[in-house]
Structure 1
């Protein structure tokens, strides 16, 4: 069984290793406002959990190589299996913290970040806010230089006047097309800090618009506040469906 867990762990993380780090939300509040004239504002305030994929993959590979060596020497089954140990050594932990502190400094230089603070154990505190016009798509977070390549929220232009909002990173439930796939299973596999990072998700996402709300997937629907329609999603590790809505705005000529 433990051998299978090791294989599953490496299979899950292998496609993401080139990203070096995986960033996932912890406890947060996020808001998106889209106006009929295509202007928008977006904010995220709260925790960001960073997972060192390359370090994790290296340990998974070491475990796999050790198992292969045992099989080759014919020792498989002669000694009881032990749980895979993905805990960082004090030296590895210190190096990781150093790298993450440097990363916080670099991220804080990017447009929209009002503050970025590294608090240890892979935990960042982020205050982000940006505004603009939706004549192009928008995703967050995304930064090639800082290895943020798996956005949590995407605003897509569909045709001349339709905008679709989807926040796959704000849920963690496996098998719901949220972009994280079965990564939530890592906690069940006993993978230490990585499982802990995925267990912290708890947040609120609020969408506000004065445009035509074509569709949305919140069972409680939208609340009318003056000329605005407001939808509030509360998400955690048990949430099934990623927040999603379609909005009709001024057409692009």
Structure 2
């Protein structure tokens, strides 16, 4: 297999994976500051200030669709197995085979469009008003104090909520949008213990596959020039992970475990755990905290 053939297969594989992610309406953070405060009276507050990005509303959707356009296969010499220029007859046969699958591809495209709409709470991503509809949907939820459109699927948001630790907590949760990939989870265990995970604030998390996908697309430029370099250069401006996440305890709470670099730091009223989040953050922030122990 030639270098150009390998590049083409790599590009096709990455874009096919991109198409799958888009059908899940993947949401990712950009620049942000987030804080979770836990108090000994078993109350909590959570804030998120900064960018969120809906891939299903971005120009990446068009890139995913482009992966399904006709692209002729390479032709090979029967004796040397090296690539050669395809004849007109060979190209015509390839095109005929592609055209024969047009109906099946149209059905698949319709199915994906319906999936995308379902993952956006019934909003059609191809509708020019889709972004504004999603913005209004978020503003109807408690806690979303500001939602400003930044274009290309990006929003600048301010979210804050308070409550009692009587139930699990997840952010973000969007009405009508199933299986939203979580930025932050707070899970209550028996014995007044809570587990906090932030899978959305890491690049190697199974809930955040997009960073690796984008790196693969950008890497095509290093493998070869021409259309591959152009594809990498035309990547949309996607927010990169860049922020801080803090867990603050107040009162007689016990931090049993955490994966910060420096551990818990004392404050006048308790302790604080802090993570600096960047594209190099491999492990999702996590902590185990007990009340009254």
TM-score of the superposed pair, with normalisation by structure 1: 0.78
Aligned to 1:242: 284
Aligned to 1:232: 274
Q: Using the TM superposition, give the Cα deviation of residue 245 of structure 1 relative to its aligned residue in structure 2, in angstroms.
A: 0.5
Name the CA distance, whole Å, in 2 between partners of 1:50 and 1:182.
11
Q: In the comparison of the two structures, how many residue pairs are matched?
A: 228
Name the CA distance, whole Å, in 2 between partners of 1:13 and 1:183.
15
**What does the per-residue CA deviation read over 1:90-142, in whole Å, with 9 as the maximum and x for residues that have no partner?**
xxxx9576311221122111011111111212220100000111111111002
Aligned to 1:209: 249
CA gap of 1:200–1:96, structure 2 versus 1, over 3 A, is farther
Name the CA distance, whole Å, in 2 between partners of 1:77 and 1:48.
47
The reply to whether residue 5 of structure 1 matches residue 36 of structure 2 is: no
Q: Using the TM superposition, give the Cα deviation of residue 54 of structure 1 relative to its aligned residue in structure 2, in angstroms.
A: 9.4
Name the CA distance, whole Å, in 2 between partners of 1:219 and 1:101.
40
Name the CA distance, whole Å, in 2 between partners of 1:104 and 1:180.
22
Q: Is the 8 A contact 1:107 1:146 kept in 2?
A: no
Aligned to 1:34: 38
SS at match of 2:262: coil
Alignment of 1:56-95 (within 5 A): 56=60, 59-60=63-64, 62-64=66-68, 66-67=70-71, 70-71=72-73, 78=85
Q: Using the TM superposition, give the Cα deviation of residue 185 of structure 1 relative to its aligned residue in structure 2, in angstroms.
A: 2.9
Q: Using the TM superposition, give the Cα deviation of residue 178 of structure 1 relative to its aligned residue in structure 2, in angstroms.
A: 4.6
Alignment of 1:113-152 (within 5 A): 113-146=144-177, 149-152=180-183
SS at match of 1:52: helix
TM-score of the superposed pair, with normalisation by structure 2: 0.68
Name the CA distance, whole Å, in 2 between partners of 1:17 and 1:188.
16
CA gap of 1:121–1:63, structure 2 versus 1, over 3 A, is closer
Name the CA distance, whole Å, in 1 between partners of 2:130 and 2:234.
16
Alignment of 1:187-198 (within 5 A): 187-190=215-218, 196-197=237-238
Give the greater-gyration-radius structure (CA): 2
The reply to whether residue 25 of structure 1 matches residue 29 of structure 2 is: yes
Q: Is the 8 A contact 2:259 2:285 kept in 1?
A: yes
Q: Using the TM superposition, give the Cα deviation of residue 160 of structure 1 relative to its aligned residue in structure 2, in angstroms.
A: 2.9
Q: In angstroms, what is the RMSD of aligned CA positions?
A: 3.0
CA gap of 1:217–1:194, structure 2 versus 1, over 3 A, is farther
CA gap of 1:72–1:65, structure 2 versus 1, over 3 A, is farther
Q: Using the TM superposition, give the Cα deviation of residue 13 of structure 1 relative to its aligned residue in structure 2, in angstroms.
A: 4.2
Q: Is the 8 A contact 1:22 1:148 kept in 2?
A: no
